[in-house]
């Protein structure tokens, strides 16, 4: 099936769709998808995307890009911007300029009529304003001729070394509709052996970084100690469990923030941030995926990405069930077809 990727970023979702990569020693097979179009408005993200994929992404604003210039495709994917749907600031207008961008996905569905779509967003979208906004978005997608289902995932339940909760919305065009079932979890917090959540120590080679620039200054540590008690402070991560959610703020992460950090030496009060390589691993990017940009750009792209491994599980489930639907319908057509008797073909 052919793919059109909106808000493609550096390509986390797209890598998960095509598959054929290894993560923590396990091979994730290639999936039956081919990317034919990708678009993002961040030049540095497009640079990373084009370094890693054969089909180059288009650098453009989705609001002004002419949908008619897109090739035909079978599946539309997109993690439409989520900052407007965060529950951190419930008084913020959720339908600011970024919050309305999901409507462009809806317009693409209306114009191009692909067989399927996969959309992703923050968990907060589901509960914002009592769930009304989320239901309106689903109705908008459904109005374009799709059966719409959703599920909130924790990436840690699928082998990603990070507690990251996101909602996935899957749409199936009404004329080919079937009861899509989201993939079952492969890991759990209290599982045994390989089924247990992947701990951070699997992707952190050493607490001592190769480059001292990742250490926090003494001034930053003192600032943390003097901060208000009600502030989130020094969220140092245990290496024995998954990381807390990493964000696009990794480049300017603070010890007085909600961003996870590493405690190198408790007695000496030495903290550090993740390196870009470590952050990419926490998001389940394989080491073969490169970020040919500055650390600041890499952090932003990694924090904004959909974990490839999580997308791989969703995309794999869709591919298998779509194939089964096609095979079942094909058998049914052959079984019930009526062949005329004694027809002479001239």
What positions carry a catalytic annotation? 82
Which runs of E-coded beta strand occur in the chain?
A: 2-6, 19-23, 26-30, 34-40, 58-59, 75-78, 116-122, 146-154, 165-173, 262-265, 270-272
- Which of left, alpha, beta for 135 (phi over 0: left; psi -120 to 50: alpha)? alpha
Assess contact for 242 and 159: CB atoms under 8 A. Answer: no
The CA distance from 12 to 78, in Å, is 11
Count the helix, strand and coil residues of the chain and give each as a percent rounded to the nearest 5. 35, 20, 45
The CA distance from 29 to 10, in Å, is 21
The CA distance from 186 to 142, in Å, is 30
Q: Residue 154: is it exposed, middle or buried by C-beta count within 10 angstroms (0-12/13-18/19+)?
A: buried
Q: Which two tokens stand for residue 106?
A: 């809806």
For residue 99, the 8-state DSSP code is G
The CA distance from 308 to 161, in Å, is 12
């Amino acid at each position: 099936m052919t793919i059109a990727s909106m808000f493609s970023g550096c390509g986390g979702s797209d890598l998960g769709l095509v598959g054929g990569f290894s993560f923590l020693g396990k091979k994730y097979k290639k999936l039956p998808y081919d990317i034919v179009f990708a678009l993002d408005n961040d030049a540095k993200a497009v640079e990373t995307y084009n370094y890693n994929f054969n089909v180059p992404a288009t650098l453009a604003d989705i609001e002004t890009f002419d949908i008619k210039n897109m090739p035909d495709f079978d599946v539309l994917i997109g993690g439409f911007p989520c900052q407007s749907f965060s529950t951190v600031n419930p008084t913020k207008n959720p339908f600011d300029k970024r919050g309305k961008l999901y409507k462009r996905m809806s317009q693409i569905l209306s114009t191009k009529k692909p067989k399927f779509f996969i959309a992703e967003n923050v968990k907060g979208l589901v509960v914002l304003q009592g769930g009304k906004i989320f239901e309106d978005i689903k109705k908008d997608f459904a109005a374009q001729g799709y059966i719409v289902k959703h599920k909130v995932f924790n990436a840690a339940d699928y082998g990603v070394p990070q507690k990251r909760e996101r909602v996935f919305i899957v749409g199936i065009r009404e004329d080919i509709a079937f009861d899509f079932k989201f993939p079952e979890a492969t890991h759990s917090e209290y599982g045994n052996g390989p089924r247990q959540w992947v701990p951070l120590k699997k992707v952190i080679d050493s607490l001592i970084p190769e480059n001292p620039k990742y250490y926090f200054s003494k001034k930053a540590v003192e600032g943390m100690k003097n901060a208000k008690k009600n502030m989130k402070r020094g969220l140092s991560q245990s290496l024995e469990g998954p990381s807390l959610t990493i964000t696009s703020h990794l480049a300017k992460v603070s010890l007085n923030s909600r961003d996870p950090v590493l405690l190198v030496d408790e007695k000496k009060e030495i903290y550090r941030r993740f390196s870009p390589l470590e952050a990419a691993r926490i998001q389940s990017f394989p080491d073969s995926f490169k970020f040919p940009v500055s650390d600041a750009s890499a952090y932003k792209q990694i924090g904004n990405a959909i974990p490839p491994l999580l997308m791989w599980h969703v995309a794999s489930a869709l591919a298998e069930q779509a194939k089964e639907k096609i095979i079942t319908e094909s058998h049914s057509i052959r079984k019930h077809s009526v062949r005329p008797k004694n027809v002479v073909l001239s």
